Amino acid sequence: MASAHPADLTVGADLTVEADLIVGVDLGGTKILATVVRPDGTIIGREKRLTKAEKGSDTVLKRIVKAIRDAISVAEVTLDDIRAVGIGVPGPTDTKSGIVHEAPNLAWSETPVAAILSEQLGVPVYVGNDTNLCTLAEFDLGAGRGATSMIGVFIGTGIGGGLILNGDLLDGATQAAGEIGHMIIRIGGPRCGCGRHGCTEALASRLAIEHRVMSMIEKGRDSMIQDLLAEKKKKNEIDQRRIRSQMLAKAYTANDAIVRRAVDRSAWYVGVALAGAVHLINPEQIVVGGGLVEAIGQPYVDKVTQSIHEQTFDISHRNLKVTQAQLGDDAGVLGAVCLVRRRLTPTTP
Amino acid sequence: MASAHPADLTVGADLTVEADLIVGVDLGGTKILATVVRPDGTIIGREKRLTKAEKGSDTVLKRIVKAIRDAISVAEVTLDDIRAVGIGVPGPTDTKSGIVHEAPNLAWSETPVAAILSEQLGVPVYVGNDTNLCTLAEFDLGAGRGATSMIGVFIGTGIGGGLILNGDLLDGATQAAGEIGHMIIRIGGPRCGCGRHGCTEALASRLAIEHRVMSMIEKGRDSMIQDLLAEKKKKNEIDQRRIRSQMLAKAYTANDAIVRRAVDRSAWYVGVALAGAVHLINPEQIVVGGGLVEAIGQPYVDKVTQSIHEQTFDISHRNLKVTQAQLGDDAGVLGAVCLVRRRLTPTTP
């Protein structure tokens, strides 16, 4: 059995040979975030650019390299100071081979990302699934420190997650573990982006909340969201019908009945899926994060906790910690850094 | 990472010092099965008796001791030939301390079973959860040999299960892992024995099938089950309204429409719950067993497989093996023996 945690944040001691900086990259469907990170977890340079997935994988890979080089410039260091690069990708990824099995948002399939980028950059490159790496970051550096087993769940436009068991990230037989958003909790429920019905994501994501709120408004119910959408229109913003997490948070705090109901239901649904996960793997801790949770905060986590308690046995949740994620938007890049740290200094049994 | 399998069936080499036999006990709510097992897995003596749970834990513990002594007599050996005893119990159990946290069918709570029985018998006693141990047995000796990660699910009056990850049984933080039967797959669904609604067990157990078939018959639909129940009545059997798995199998094979529909739906529901588990842990193999599955056989496993494939991504089930359990009613006692074998010869990292 592996030890739970690598000596936290002290891994730098092993890395201060010559190059001790790590580059962490969070590759999303719309944007790339590249950072330069010190062994102690401090980010000393960051660079954001659009992914432009529609231009194909060659373009995206070039844009990643460019983002990395720019972040290195911002940090006022050179590639020689970089020990390795870690990248989080939105899709099942083999962390051992560095091959991305598939990334629907990028139209990638069996793409050897680590091999391509390490050749272009001349440093080792490690690749992992994005929400798995967010989970790893919360475990090594954030809300999950001190736990042995943990589930991470991240709620935004979609719902993703990851599992830590015996102190290690669970990849799964085909590197597809942690897909909590596609656990079915209501057979015959609403259609999910994946084409199936009743997935947790279809019931509880920010998009699901948006659908619910808009449908109530269309039915003639009043909501503060109408004013917030009107403001957007006045400012001629893009996505004029999109209800962002910040708008939901504003209305939630102002006790808007429609938004309260929709957000609380989302939290309750997430709790039902997590209850299934608790029945199955009985973890020590659950960390709840993502854009929606960051915006709403503790009230969302409290509702999730209540729902888990309602749907599980006393013995399964007796000592269960359910906490809000701590790393925010940086979880992705820091998770990529944690993957690198663990690869460079494997835990000893 | 632990090695997947202890050298299969050769563990006896380590045990043939003096006493090399292991006693495996399966403690159920209604009956106790005690067996004497050779290092190679052969059962050389067995004894069955009623549990009499209503008489309290002292009585049950005495009856276990008696069943063990009788099984030893049947095997024509003595207690001196017994290296250790393993017991599977229906409830969350700490395999390390040998304490049964709770066993609702037995009205047990924090019962130190290993300590009590090892004092009475004078040999080491190991205790584990029954369906976890059935899973372990299928992994070490049955359908799961050769796998690294596996889910076991057992469908009968209720639905239980267990998880093998990295070659080890997953106990969970409070030894409550593997409760696949209580994963909720239809929010607002039928009430479960646990008091919640829409659990897999409430939708897919033999009892759920029985309810569905009886309700169709009460609505005036014809089924072969009516004849089979009439036979039972004629013979004045107990439980005259209970539809046993064998009766379901008979009607299923005879293409009885009502039974076909109810059994196929059960398999489909089990597949939905397993799909959730596959999304979450992405195992190599799933082993499906229990009284209902033994009776119906491969057609049930095929329906489960189809349902899993429908509800998961191609990458998650691409290499997934879904197979029928091989050990039948002996899975419980053999699992208890496997627990003992693993305790006596721990796997090396």
Q: Do A177 and B280 touch (CB under 8 A)?
A: yes
Domain membership flag for residue B270: yes
Residues A295, A172 within the same domain: yes
Secondary structure class of B124 (helix, strand, coil): coil
Average pLDDT over every residue of B5-21: 50
Domain membership flag for residue B349: no
3-state SS of B149-186 is CEEEEEECCCEEEEEEECCEECCCCCCCCCCHHHCECE
Q: Does B165 touch chain A (CB under 8 A)?
A: yes
- CA A19 → CA A22, A71, A220, distances in Å? 9, 16, 61
Contact assessment for residue B85 and residue B23, using Cβ atoms and an 8 Å cutoff: yes
Cβ-based neighbours of B298, under 8 Å, separated by 6 or more:
B324
Residues A131, A231 within the same domain: no
Domain membership flag for residue B305: yes
Residues B279, B215 within the same domain: yes
ipTM: 0.92
Secondary structure class of B120 (helix, strand, coil): helix
- Smallest CA–CA distance, residue B140 to chain A, in Å, is 19
Calculate ∠ Cα A124-A130-A134, nearest 5°.
100
Domain membership flag for residue A264: yes
Residues B172, B288 within the same domain: yes
- Smallest CA–CA distance, residue B349 to chain A, in Å, is 7
Segments in chain A below pLDDT 50: 1-17, 348-349
Residues 216-255 of chain A with CB under 8 A from chain B are none
Residues B100, B56 within the same domain: yes
Q: Do A149 and B101 touch (CB under 8 A)?
A: no
d(CA A52, CA A65): 14
Q: Does B186 touch chain A (CB under 8 A)?
A: yes
Residue A26 phi, psi dihedral angles, 5° rounding: -115, 110
Q: Does B107 touch chain A (CB under 8 A)?
A: no
Nearest beta carbon to residue A316 from set B174, B196, B313 = B174
Nearest beta carbon to residue A280 from set B163, B175, B320 = B163
Domain membership flag for residue B59: yes
Residues B185, B298 within the same domain: yes
Q: Do B174 and A283 touch (CB under 8 A)?
A: no
Q: Does A328 touch chain B (CB under 8 A)?
A: no
- Smallest CA–CA distance, residue B186 to chain A, in Å, is 4
Average pLDDT over every residue of B13-21: 58
d(CA A78, CA A96): 27
Q: Letter for the amino acid at B121? A: L
Residues B297, B339 within the same domain: no
Q: Do B173 and A148 touch (CB under 8 A)?
A: yes
d(CA A253, CA A247): 10
Nearest beta carbon to residue B311 from set A176, A196, A315 = A196
Residues B79, B171 within the same domain: no
Residues A337, A307 within the same domain: no
Residue range(s) defining the domain that contains residue B339? 12-131+330-344
Secondary structure class of B270 (helix, strand, coil): helix
Q: Is the pLDDT of residue B12 over 60?
A: no
d(CA A151, CA B114): 32
Q: Do B170 and A165 touch (CB under 8 A)?
A: yes
Q: Do B173 and A319 touch (CB under 8 A)?
A: yes
Q: Is the pLDDT of residue B215 over 70?
A: yes
d(CA B29, CA B18): 34
Secondary structure class of B191 (helix, strand, coil): strand
Beta-sheet strand order (sheet of B108-111): B93-94, B99-103, B108-111
Residues B82, B225 within the same domain: no
Q: Is the pLDDT of residue B221 over 60?
A: yes
Domain membership flag for residue A128: yes
Domain membership flag for residue B4: no
Q: What is the pLDDT of residues B49-107, one digit of tens each?
A: 999 999 999 999 999 999 999 999 999 999 999 999 999 999 999 999 999 999 988 98
Residues B156, B214 within the same domain: yes
Closest CA in chain B for residue A179: B279
What is the predicted pLDDT for the residue at B228?
95
CATH number of the domain to which B250 belongs: 3.30.420.40
What is the predicted pLDDT for the residue at B9?
40
How many domains in chain B?
A: 2
Residues A337, A193 within the same domain: no
Domain membership flag for residue B1: no
Q: Which chain A residues touch B101 with a CB distance below 8 Å?
A: 315
Q: Which chain A residues touch B182 with a CB distance below 8 Å?
A: 279, 312-313
Q: Give the rounded percent of residues in chain B with a pLDDT score beyond 90.
A: 88
